[in-house]
Chains A and B, each alone.
Chain A
Amino acid sequence: MKILDPTDERVPVRRSLAARPEGVTGTVGLLDINKPRGDVMLDHVKRLLNELLPGVEVKQYRKPTPARPAPDEVRRQMMEECDFVIEGLAD
Chain B
Amino acid sequence: MQSLPAFSLLDLEGRERTLPSGKPTLLCFVREECETCHLSMPMIEAVHRAFGSAINVWAVGQEDNAALISHHKATVPMLDDSALKVSFANKIEIVPTIILSDASGSEVIRWEAFHKGDWQALIGRLSQLSGLAAPGLDWGKYPELRPGCGSKSVEPGILERLVAEAENSPLRAREINIAERDNPFEFMFDQGLTDGLPVVPPTPEYVVRMLTGTRRDPQEVVGTCAPNYAPVTIEKIAINAVMAGCKPEYLPVVIAAVEGLCSHEFNAHALVSTYGPSPVIVVNGPIRQRIGMNMEINVLGHGNRANATIGRAMKLVLRNLGGLRPGEIERAALGSPAKYGACYPEFEERSPWEPLHVERGFDRNDSVVTLFSLEGSPHQIADQTSRTARALAGSLALGMECGWHPKAHRVGDTLLVISPEHVDTLWRDHWSKDDVRRHIQEVTSRPLRELMPTDNYGGQGTMSEQAALAAGRTEEDLNRLSPKFKSTENIHIIVAGGPAGKWSSVISAFGDAAVSVPVSRKIEEVP
Contact = CB atoms under 8 A, between A and B. Distances in A.
A68 B267 contact: yes
B514 A65 contact: yes
A64 B230 CA distance: 24
A67 B203 contact: no
Contact of B274 (A36, A68, A90): A90
Interface string B166-186: 000001011111101000100
B106 interface: no
Contact of B462 (A6, A8, A37): A37
A65 B512 CA distance: 10
Nearest to B514: A65
B193 interface: yes
Contact of A2 (B203, B236, B511): B203
Given A67-B270, A67-B514, A5 B230 contact: no
Interface residues of A, number: 19
A35 to B, nearest CB: 10
B514 A2 contact: no
B175 A2 contact: yes
A5 B175 contact: yes
Contacts of A6: 173, 193, 202, 236, 239-240, 243, 316, 320-321
Contact of A3 (B176, B462, B514): B176
Contacts, number: 80
A24 B174 CA distance: 47
A14 to B, nearest CB: 16
A7 interface: yes
B13 to A, nearest CB: 33
B407 to A, nearest CB: 14
B230 A8 contact: yes
A26 B428 CA distance: 71
B200 to A, nearest CB: 10
Q: What bracket does the count of chain B residues touching chain A fall in?
A: 35 or more
B308 to A, nearest CB: 18
Interface string B321-342: 1010000000100000000000
Contact of B178 (A3, A8, A9): A3
A1 interface: yes
Interface string B503-526: 000000001001110000000000
Given A64-B514, A65-B514, A90-B331, A9 B173 contact: yes
Interface string B230-274: 110001100110010000000000000000000000010110011
Given A2-B203, A9-B173, 15 more contacts: A3-B178, A4-B173, A4-B174, A4-B203, A4-B235, A4-B239, A5-B173, A5-B239, A6-B240, A7-B320, A8-B228, A36-B462, A37-B462, A90-B274, A91-B274
Interface of B: 171, 173-178, 180, 184, 188, 193, 201-204, 207, 228, 230-231, 235-236, 239-240, 243, 267, 269-270, 273-274, 316, 320-321, 323, 331, 462, 511, 514-516
